[in-house]
Amino acid sequence: MSSSELEAKKAADGQQEAKVPAGVEITGSKQPEEDTNARTKAELDFAAAEQYKNQGNEMLKTKEFSKAIDMYTKAIELHPNSAIYYANRSLAHLRQESFGFALQDGVSAVKADPAYLKGYYRRAAAHMSLGKFKQALCDFEFVAKCRPNDKDAKLKFTECNKIVKMRAFERAIAVDKPEKTLSEMYSDMENITIEDDYKGPQLEDGKVTLKFMMELMEHYKAQKRLHRKFAYKILCEIDTYMRAQSSLVDITVQDEEKFTICGDIHGQFYDLMNIFEINGLPSEKNPYLFNGDFVDRGSFSVECIFTLFGFKLLYPNHFFLARGNHESINMNQMYGFTGEVTAKYTSAMADIFTQVFNWLPLCHCINQKILVMHGGLFSTEDVTLDNIRRIERNCQPPEEGLMCELLWSDPQQWMGLGQSKRGVGIQFGPDVTEKFCKDNNLDYIIRSHEVKDMGYEVAHNGKCITVFSAPNYCDTMGNMGAFITITGNNLKPNFKSFEAVPHPDVKPMAYANSLMNWLA
């Protein structure tokens, strides 16, 4: 905790305590006994609220974020004017990646006590997480002005200001130009020299082979890098292939064939290898679908994405990849992938990934009965599979509409539509899922996007299934990962949970923007 935050906390704590007895309206018409009773109730409510807050703080330390949120909520119900309670609950929402709720609590903290600087930090953190850097900059600037001698406050303002200026510069130099494939843009890559001391895997006549993939995985396990010539070649081949795909890809699974669906991987390469160890390597007899968020947060995202792209090129009709909300430039710049690619290769390659990610399909339909997308369903009724097929996806995810909601939405347990806890997309209830499946003749949907204790969750009367394949997410959450298997003649989902495996001592978010490391 910085000196400014510590001082602000002490000041706010004192203000909150002082407000309790003053919070009871006293008028000359009240009898002394009524006045005493009112004071006593206010004091008892505040004491109980403080207990709930303290319990929430302990649960926050043990990473029981949902329970912490419940405790802070109870504190707020008893004492709704405490900036501290809102700020603490905002932090718990940030840890759960519920950025929309975190923003609301940050706003409430500032409103409850404009002198409580941590409220501005919470609001700024939520804005940063949503890619709203100008709004975050305003809060960092306010804190820096309030505490001109606080180096930490000045550093946060300076770092955020750099991001805002960088974004403005990128927009200024951007020009419309004819769309070219990566192969056209990097036609000279064939002339890249392979150094004599490179002993890693090599493409055979420019093509991915099973031998190459086996050597690549072992190479990565030993923390070695694929030569840039082969990395560029794989990206060019993937770009060419994905451009020809629909936004919705239809998959046919034969009667006795097993098919595996995996959720978020998030740069956890050694856990990806464990999936293949448990469930078998991809092959024409063992097909896979990976449902987005391959990169970011975990610090082995480069290894994950080239492994997945390699298997896609090796088995194009038996290995499938969908776009997640983290296959986007905002997320990649903030949560580590851009920094990792730049560190392991070049910033130019990071730009190439942005183009490739734009062409990833948005969802898949298995045997015309199971729709698989990263996020969820829609704010508008009567969306059909053909509507999804017609989405123009070669862009950064918009802030609303079908593409946005496919990547960002979440299910909710109550009926109807709700405001997104993330601040992007929507939340959809069992009735929404039921109608969508009925209208499109689907048995159920599979989505990812959310950490689950067992790596999966069945909701909406079995019609909405979440699968998440990054165990002990960010080395902190303690969750299991999972994957789903089905067969062509039995579409009933089978779940396999698994624990995290050890990885080299490179922490999650090691390549992330410095401000995001602070937020994490």
Q: Which two tokens stand for residue 10?
A: 């002490």
| CB-based contact 417:432 (threshold 8 Å) | yes
What integer pLDDT is reported at residue 376 of this predicted model? Answer: 98
By the 10 Å C-beta count (0-12 exposed, 13-18 middle, 19+ buried), 81 is classed as: middle
Of all helices (H) and strands (E), which one includes residue 483?
Answer: strand 481-487
What integer pLDDT is reported at residue 283 of this predicted model? Answer: 98
| Percentage, residues of the chain above pLDDT 70 | 90
Question: Which residue pairs, CB below 8 angstroms and at least 24 apart, start in 271-279?
Answer: 271/469, 271/470, 271/471, 271/481, 271/500, 271/501, 271/503, 272/304, 272/307, 272/469, 273/217, 273/221, 273/501, 274/498, 274/501, 275/469, 275/481, 275/483, 275/498, 278/496, 278/498, 279/483, 279/485, 279/496
Query: What pLDDT digit, counting tens, does each position of 299-324 carry?
Result: 999 999 999 999 999 999 999 999 99
Q: Which two tokens stand for residue 402?
A: 């079908």
| CB-based contact 467:312 (threshold 8 Å) | no
Find the helix packing angle between 3-22 and 151-173, rounded to 10°. 110
Query: Which region, left, alpha or beta, applies to residue 100 given φ > 0 means left and ψ of -120 to 50 means alpha?
Result: alpha
CB neighbours of residue 402 within 10 Å? 20
How many residues comprise the chain? Answer: 520
Find the helix packing angle between 301-314 and 210-221, rounded to 10°. 170
What integer pLDDT is reported at residue 200 of this predicted model? Answer: 96
Q: How far apart are the C-alpha atoms of 361 and 347, rounded to whole Å?
A: 24
pTM for the model stands at 0.87
Residue type, 132: K
Closest residue by Cα to residue 98 from 134, 73, 62: 73
Closest residue by Cα to residue 121 from 144, 98, 96: 144
- Split the chain (520 residues) into runs of 10 and give each run's mean pLDDT: 44 41 44 70 90 95 92 95 96 91 95 95 90 91 91 88 82 64 73 90 96 98 96 95 97 96 98 98 98 97 98 98 96 94 94 95 98 98 96 95 98 96 96 98 98 97 98 95 96 98 96 74
Report domain extents, the chain. Answer: 41-172, 182-519
Catalytic residue among 93, 326, 449, 460, which? 326
Closest residue by Cα to residue 358 from 179, 133, 97, 512: 179
Q: How far apart are the C-alpha atoms of 280 and 73, rounded to whole Å?
A: 45
Name 396's Cβ contacts closer than 8 Å, sequence gap at least 6: 328, 329, 330, 358
Residue type, 297: R
What integer pLDDT is reported at residue 31 of this predicted model? Answer: 62
What integer pLDDT is reported at residue 406 of this predicted model? Answer: 98
- The answer to whether 227 is a known catalytic residue is no
Bridging pattern class, strands 258-262 and 288-290: parallel
The reply to whether 41-172 and 182-519 are identical in fold is no
3-state helix, strand, coil in the chain (%, to 5): 50, 10, 35
Q: How far apart are the C-alpha atoms of 422 and 516, rounded to whole Å?
A: 17
Q: Looking at domain 41-172, does it have CATH number 1.25.40.10?
A: yes
Burial 18-36 (b: 16+ CB within 10 A, else e): ebbeebeeeeeeeeeeeee
Name 472's Cβ contacts closer than 8 Å, sequence gap at least 6: 478, 479, 499, 500
Query: What pLDDT digit, counting tens, does each position of 201-242 carry?
Result: 999 999 999 999 999 999 999 999 999 999 999 999 999 999
| CB-based contact 419:100 (threshold 8 Å) | yes
What integer pLDDT is reported at residue 120 of this predicted model? Answer: 94
Q: What is the CATH number of domain 182-519?
A: 3.60.21.10
